[in-house]
Structure 1
Amino acid sequence: MNAILKTGELLTTDAQGFIINPCSFEKISPPWTAIIADLKIAYLEIFANQLHSIYIRGSVPRGKAIPKVSDLDSLAVISGNLEECQLAKIRLACRKIKHQYPFCKNVDFLCVSYQEIMESESTLKMLIKTQSLCIFGDDLTLSLPNYKPGIEMVSHAFELGEDLEILQDELQCLGNNDIFYFKFIKDRCAWIMKRIVRTGLELVMLREQVYTRDLYPSYLLFYKHYPTQERYMKKALELAINPSDNLAGLLIFLREFGSWLVREVERVGCVRKFHTDAVT
């Protein structure tokens, strides 16, 4: 079982209050350099001339990665249409790379079209600009707008209610004769708990005027404003790091604390209203 590491940091801002992207090649060291190189090759082989750019984000390009704890998160911007066969190939490639480099907890990928990035209000623009490192292609961080801690940096609270509803339906319909039954539950547990902890940060971000995706400081800032809910958010933090396959317990937690969190997000007015003065 992994202990809760009291690590993580708030992203720094410049003199005007804009987030400074902390990622750089200089902060990446072995053994992460090799796995990044192999992931880049996989993207190039699968998408070839369709590749606009490739990015890595998270702890690795910030020099904060911990072997056997950290994931390698990647994002590819694609010109033209994405084919299902291409997505299947990159999914398989990421699994193979993960097995080849066991120090990496997981190799995650996201493929999105250039048009979607540039023509929508997707929070991916914010993630690329503030927390990503371009390892191939035309670097979008040079042309995207700057961001300050605020409503434009909310990426999980908007969809938490829908995420919880869909996940609970999936879990309740899951057959326990499935060979991947317990693995699926643990995978989804880790996924939703990270969203819950980061939603906790987004609840208080406007009041604190800070931003992070790191779990531990997100928990601490939530606790500062919601001390009566501390034990529930701490449990979410624990489950994000050490996910459980206890289906019944997970469903109860999501129904109770998850539902409370959705109601609180709606109460403070940071979902879909986009009025920062509603935050009290």
Structure 2
Amino acid sequence: MPAVFRPVVEAARHRLPRLYGPRLHSAYLYGSIPRGTARAGRSDLDLLVALHDEPSDTDRQEARALGAALDQEFPQIDGVGTLLHGRERLLSDLERHDLGWFVACLCTPLLGDDLAARLPRYRPDDPLLARETNGDLALILPRWRERIAAAGETEEARRPLVRFMSRHLVRTGFTLVMGRWQGWTSDLHEMAAAFGTYYPARAAQMTAAAVRGYEPVGDLALLRAYADDLGPWLAGEYARVHGVKAPRP
């Protein structure tokens, strides 16, 4: 981990137990900071937090407030994203090939007992893994269009959407080809390159999305292209190759 990010990681390590107390089971880092590729002032802090019970709306609000406080206090990060889930959900059969895989293969332990010890060994060529990780893009796209319409007129308001949607599309593109690539990675540029090997006609779009996943701009035309062109095409191809993700409650 680059030394510049250690203070913000230590702050998260100390504040999460104060926030959730004995309900906190474990916490993890993922993304560019534990991977060692983060850039000061450009990269965000990505956290996954597991509670002993299912989180409430209040728990999620508190996680957002903690993220906002860390973002305000530490200029070396550009935002904080926190995934908050209950321990039983992360270990459930339904999430075994989605959130469970994510914890076991793409997360770095920060606090508590590592749930990866309770999860299986995964293979990148497992079609069930590909289906369950990102096989719901078609269901998500209508909500994306609503969020784009509600994002407002300012570039600042649209930048988080560009970051989020860029990353989601690149990760979906990567899991589409993960079995053929025979591995996994959390680096967006590597993901886009792997995708482009098998879908050269869409390679430039995915490469550009990887750039915007790290360096977002509040471009309304880009968001619309995601929701109306790249996203629908990717959802259709994903369903054709891997099928549709099992419904969640």
TM range (shorter): 0.7 to 0.9
Q: Partner residue of 1:143?
A: 118
Whole-angstrom distance in 2 between the partners of 1:190 and 1:102: 18
Of 155, 160, 165, the match for 2:142: 165
Which segments of 5 or more consecutive residues in structure 2 lack a partner in the other structure?
A: none
Tell me how far 1:168 sits from its aligned partner.
0.8
Q: Residues 269, 143 of structure 1: CA spacing in aligned structure 2 closer, same or farther, 3 A cutoff?
A: closer
Letter in 1 for 2:79: N
Q: Partner letter of residue 90 of structure 1?
A: A
What TM-score do the two structures reach when normalised by structure 2? 0.87
Q: Residue 47 and residue 159 in structure 1: after superposition, are their counterparts in 2 closer, same or farther (change >3 A)?
A: same
Larger Cα-atom Rg: 1
TM-score where L is the length of structure 1: 0.78
Quote the residue 1:39 is aligned against.
12
Instruction: Answer yes or no: is the 8 Å Cα contact 1:203–1:270 preserved in 2.
Output: no
Greater helix content: 2
Partner of 2:217: 244
On the 8 A contact 1:42/1:90 being kept in 2, the answer is: no
Matched position secondary structure for 2:163: helix
* Closer, same or farther: CA 252–34 of 1 in aligned 2, 3 Å: closer
Cα deviation code 1:210-266 (max 9, x no counterpart)? 212211111111111111222222332333233332324531443122211111112
Residue 55 of structure 1 is matched in structure 2 by: 28
Pairing partner for 1:186 from 152, 156, 159: 159
- For 1:269, which of 230, 242, 246 is the aligned residue? 242
Q: Name the CA shift for 1:133/1:230 in 2 (closer, same or farther; >3 Å).
A: closer
Matches within 5 A, 1:48-197: 48-122=21-95, 123-149=98-124, 150-154=126-130, 157-176=134-153, 181-197=154-170
Aligned residues: 242
1:126 positional shift = 0.9
**1:137 CA displacement:** 1.6
CA–CA separation in structure 2 for the residues paired with 1:266 and 1:45:
43
Amino acid aligned to 2:127: I
